[in-house]
Chains A and B, each alone.
Chain A
């Protein structure tokens, strides 16, 4: 029974059975509640946007990899996440072709030009969204009310422009105007709980991000609960700021990342031109992530500290 050659490898000889695919599909599962709520509130068009966005992302990734003679890795689920996250960040009434353009842009220029999975400095879905906001500002800020299907404003927009607040229950359940996947805090929290339970995201980033927003809005005399549940903060904090590829690898770095993003959100929301600032806050912090990694190297065991 030992005619065949033995395998020699460097230790360790056993590996954890978690894989990139498992993590990616875990994130997709965690996004299902938010997606379902989005479709429930905003109807079939939302579903169509989600499907189109995912399909465009996957096809773009496949075409790009084929074209560059790389192995096609669309089954790893990472392109699906990008497409889905982008769709969840789109206004429910957006023309489908715009979603496709955004998705193609997100994968092509947000991810593949940098070398594909693991090499992109910015969250590709947010790159896609930023591109769409810059290209189609009117469409990207036209919101539909989940109550009657008429055009409405987001709670943050109402707050910023008219000083009108929205009741907590609507915010929590998501019966408000906003992007497809961002309105229902409840659905997002269900997904987030799953991710935290599975260990696919680090609690430090959402905690420091949300915490900073809560503290700063309180300090500046705003309603912190309103700010936590309004807009895309919940979705951003749990699903986009925590993107492994574009957030810091050190624990200290993750705190800094969350706090920095929190400060940026509050600054944009309170004093900026836009009512919402989650995507830009995350993109900006993505940009400084390599720097954060560089300056938050942990103390090596046995370094400095002696005979503790």
Chain B
């Protein structure tokens, strides 16, 4: 198989065997859901329901008031029991609507199919996407409709659907590609129509040959859509790396993909767009991989947004070993959780639980300047220098050495034989640089 890729990167072990051949299962309805009013990058939503209100599945409960935002919807039918600030898997406490499920899962009357793709205008499609509260489901959770509305001076000519799933352990996107391939194709066509683009690609890492085959067969009659096999290497699914691998274009330093005429969407997001157009169903559930050595029965689950991690883990047989680390997302860029009493949000691509033995604490050793981080960095930075600057509060030097270009993929920290927390230091430098800029 001919594959394309980028320069740099690392080869972490895949560890996808536990779930890659398991069909997506629908999770049981949770007794209570905790729906944060901010599950996306941008302004938080304003609640439009009150405590005591009866809500139905799919009913809007949080209204997006600014452009960069996305509304949230009730993921079960039942009664709003409280609206309070509660822990969110991203870290800070966020205003959250708590709904007690009545178990009936009654659909809201607002949910109506959007109509034929042919009859919909680009504006209609974007409106459906916005109203469905769809955000990037790969993890970053950027509002999709905003991404699909580039300023008029930016000419977009290519859409890339990101099926790389380069994070070890995770198989949710893989399964969606196998089980909902038609939705992905439909979603891609909808995005192409919404943005007015002729060329579409689906990029898939070659460790998922079944998904590549399935998608290739599906698009064999589409002359403007191509399925591209990607070399299996981390971070192949990074936007800039993916664009470079497929189109050979480099997104300018500090810029967005649209500056080279490309928009990238995750496969889960694309399938969700198809669902929203076909059925009118907003984003109230998503596929996620529950896996890791401490999970008794790893699964790919279709879970309602707002279901607590605890509930999801129980549906996978609970823990079979003492959990050491609970990660939302994959092991390379996922967020470690202090507690499993946080809800699944729109950006939760997986719940990875490492056993106590696997959740290692590392003793940091001096840098031996082996430069493995330099070789691994997919944006060609010098992580060892940046980390050194951050350690000594040399923010100006860090800025000069392009710290802000860091995509925080973690390849440098992964390969470092001295176990230096390189990317954490670079993150600190980035936040300090941005803070200082704000003050100026």
Mark A residues whose CB is within 8 Å of B. 1-2, 4, 6-16, 18-20, 22-23, 76, 115-119, 202, 244-251, 293, 297-303, 305-308
Taking CB atoms, residues of chain A closer than 8 Å to B421 are 9-10
**B30: CB under 8 A from chain A?**
no
Q: Knowing A13-B334, A297-B382, say if A7 contacts B359 (CB, 8 Å).
A: yes
The main secondary structure of chain A at its interface with chain B is loop
**Nearest chain A residue, comparing its CB with the CB of B362:** A15
**B413: CB under 8 A from chain A?**
yes
Q: Which of B35-43, B211-219, B300-308, B372-380 contacts A (4 or more CB under 8 A)?
A: B372-380
A298 to B374, CA, bound (A): 9
Q: Is the CB of B414 within 8 A of A15?
A: yes
Mark B residues whose CB is within 8 Å of A. 10, 12-13, 168, 240, 244, 248-255, 260, 318-319, 321-327, 331-340, 352, 354, 356, 359-362, 365-371, 374-375, 378-382, 384-385, 401-402, 405, 408, 410-411, 413-419, 421, 423-424, 427
Taking CB atoms, residues of chain A closer than 8 Å to B361 are 7, 9
Taking CB atoms, residues of chain A closer than 8 Å to B408 are 11
A10 to B368, CA, bound (A): 22
Most buried by B among A9, A16, A119: A16
> B379 touches which one: A15, A300, A306 (CB < 8 A)?
A300
A244 to B339, CA, bound (A): 41
Q: Is the CB of B323 within 8 A of A6?
A: yes
Q: Is the CB of B260 within 8 A of A307?
A: yes
**Nearest chain A residue, comparing its CB with the CB of B380:** A298
Taking CB atoms, residues of chain B closer than 8 Å to A15 are 360, 362, 413-414, 416, 419
Task: Knowing that A11-B333, A245-B368 touch, tell me 11 more A-B residue pairs with CB under 8 angstroms.
Answer: A7-B325, A9-B424, A15-B360, A15-B414, A117-B365, A250-B374, A298-B380, A299-B380, A301-B379, A301-B405, A302-B251
Taking CB atoms, residues of chain B closer than 8 Å to A298 are 374, 380-382
> B401 touches which one: A12, A14, A297, A305 (CB < 8 A)?
A297
Closest CB in chain B relative to A282 CB, distance in Å: 15
| 28 A-B pairs in the complex with CB atoms less than 8 angstroms apart | A1-B319, A2-B323, A6-B323, A6-B338, A8-B325, A8-B337, A9-B325, A10-B424, A11-B333, A11-B408, A12-B333, A13-B325, A15-B413, A16-B414, A20-B368, A117-B365, A244-B368, A244-B370, A245-B369, A249-B374, A250-B371, A251-B374, A300-B405, A301-B253, A301-B378, A301-B379, A303-B253, A305-B250
Taking CB atoms, residues of chain B closer than 8 Å to A293 are 382, 385
**Nearest chain A residue, comparing its CB with the CB of B252:** A302
> B324 touches which one: A7, A20, A300, A305 (CB < 8 A)?
A7
Closest CB in chain B relative to A68 CB, distance in Å: 14
Q: 4 tightest A-B contacts by CB? A: A12-B410, A118-B366, A10-B424, A249-B371
Q: Is the CB of A306 within 8 A of B252?
A: yes
Q: Is the CB of B405 within 8 A of A12?
A: no
Taking CB atoms, residues of chain A closer than 8 Å to B416 are 15-16
The main secondary structure of chain B at its interface with chain A is loop
Taking CB atoms, residues of chain A closer than 8 Å to B339 are 6
Q: Knowing A4-B322, A4-B356, A6-B326, say if A12 contacts B332 (CB, 8 Å).
A: yes
Q: Is the CB of A23 within 8 A of B417?
A: yes
Q: Is the CB of A13 within 8 A of B319?
A: no
A115 to B244, CA, bound (A): 42
Q: Is the CB of A308 within 8 A of B338?
A: no
Taking CB atoms, residues of chain A closer than 8 Å to B367 are 118
A23 to B326, CA, bound (A): 31
Taking CB atoms, residues of chain A closer than 8 Å to B375 are 251
A202 to B375, CA, bound (A): 10
> B327 touches which one: A4, A13, A116, A299 (CB < 8 A)?
A13
Most buried by B among A2, A12, A118: A12
A8 to B354, CA, bound (A): 12
Taking CB atoms, residues of chain A closer than 8 Å to B380 are 298-301
**Nearest chain B residue, comparing its CB with the CB of A248:** B371
A305 to B251, CA, bound (A): 9
A119 to B367, CA, bound (A): 8
A88 to B367, CA, bound (A): 26
Q: Is the CB of B423 within 8 A of A300?
A: no
Taking CB atoms, residues of chain B closer than 8 Å to A299 are 380
A250 to B308, CA, bound (A): 46
Q: Is the CB of A7 within 8 A of B365?
A: no
Taking CB atoms, residues of chain B closer than 8 Å to A300 are 253, 379-381, 402, 405
A6 to B331, CA, bound (A): 15
Closest CB in chain A relative to B399 CB, distance in Å: 12
